[in-house]
Homo-oligomer: A and B are copies of this chain.
Amino acid sequence: MFLSKSFGYALRGVLYVALVDKEGRKVQLDEIAEKLSVPRHFLAKIMKTMVKEDILSSTKGPYGGFFKNDQTLKTRIIHLVKITDGIEQFNTCVLSLRKCNSKNPCPLHFQMLRLRDDMLAEFSAKTIGDLLDEKNPDFIKSISAIA
C-alpha cells in the first residue's frame, strides 16, 4: 500500500533474527532469505543497513551470522520506515502541492493530516519487542508464510 517491500523485508528480517535468538543461536543470511522467501541479495542490503543502524549485530566468518543486540527490541517501527522508505513522504501533500499547509490547505489537507498523524503515532509507539510480545502461537508462520 504505502510502505515498500524493503520495509516489509526489514521488519520480517528483524523479527526472524529475534525469534531465532531465543533459541540461543545466530542466523545466517541464507536461512533468513529462504525461510522468509525473500530475494537473498536484496535482503542482504537491508540487513546490512540495519546492522549499520545498530538495530542488529552481525559477525563474519564461519559460525557467523546475524543476532540480536541491546537495541533490537527497543527499535521502533518508525525507525525501520525511516531507513527503508524515508519519512519525508508522510509530509508531502497528497495532491503534490508544494505550498500545501494548514494556512493554505489543499482540498484534502486536513483529512490526510489526521490519517498521517494516526499512522505516525502508531508506528512511533510500537517497538519490535512489542510485536514479539503480542501473543500469537503461529508467529513464525505469520512472518514467513508468503506462499
Q: Which residues of A contact B (CB under 8 A)?
A: 1-3, 5, 7-9, 11-12, 15, 77, 89-90, 92-100, 104-108, 111-112, 115-116, 118-119, 122, 126, 131, 134, 136, 138-139, 141-143, 145-147
Do B146 and A116 touch (CB < 8 A)? no
CB pair A141–B104 under 8 Å, yes or no, is yes
The minimal Cβ–Cβ distance linking A1 to chain B, given in whole angstroms, is 5
Q: Say yes or no: A94 contacts B146, CB within 8 Å.
A: no
User: Which B residues lie within 8 Å of A126 (CB)?
Assistant: 111
In the complex, A37→B99 CA distance in Å?
13
Q: Judging by beta carbons under 8 Å apart, are A142 and B1 in contact?
A: no
- Are A96 and B142 interface neighbours, CB within 8 A? no
A11 touches B107 (CB 8 A): yes
A145 nearest CB neighbor, chain B only: B99
Alpha-carbon separation in the docked complex, A66 to B89 (Å): 32
B108 touches A119 (CB 8 A): no
Output the least CB separation between A19 and chain B (Å).
11
Residues from chain B with a CB closer than 8 A to the CB of A107 are: 11, 15, 131, 134, 136, 139, 142-143
